[in-house]
Amino acid sequence: MEFKVKNIEELAKRLQDLISKKATITKGLHRVRGSVDVTFEDPDRKDKGILKLVGCYGLTKRGLMGTKNLYFDVTFKFEQHTGEYLMKLVDVKVYMIDKGAVRITKASAPKELYDLVAEDMKAAGAVKL
């Protein structure tokens, strides 16, 4: 999944606002009030770095053993080319919080998560490639 955007810091701010406003607690896949972090490899040049959506999405599953809440960290790498940033999805980590302990799981992210991330990116001003 790839996107392009003119201003990566503005995109991160818009994503944070958008996800916070749309955060709900429902069963199934939903948005959670996580954080959107931008880290530049060289803060002076601001040409490469990482955009992380940490704990912004969750999945609630109800079963015989009770309720499981899975959370997702979505990581994009970006580089600046001809005045625009090109972002590429590089990693999705799945974890659960159980009695205050964070456990990374081997579960894979559902396809709907990628659709939800793409929807939020588009709403925040990124263009899908």
Q: Is residue 84 a part of any domain in this protein?
A: yes
Q: Is residue 61 a part of any domain in this protein?
A: yes
Amino acid at 26: T
Q: Is residue 46 a part of any domain in this protein?
A: yes
pTM above 0.95, yes or no: no
Tens digit of each residue's pLDDT (9 = 90 or more) over 6-50:
999 999 999 999 999 998 877 889 999 899 999 999 999 999 999
Tens digit of each residue's pLDDT (9 = 90 or more) over 64-109:
877 888 999 999 999 999 889 999 999 999 999 877 888 989 889 9
What pLDDT is recorded for position 64?
A: 80
What pLDDT is recorded for position 109?
A: 92
CA separation for the pair 19, 26 (Å, rounded):
15
First to last CA, the chain: 8
Look at the chain and report how many structural domains it folds into.
1
Q: Is residue 50 a part of any domain in this protein?
A: yes
Structural domain containing residue 113: 2-124
Q: Is residue 129 a part of any domain in this protein?
A: no
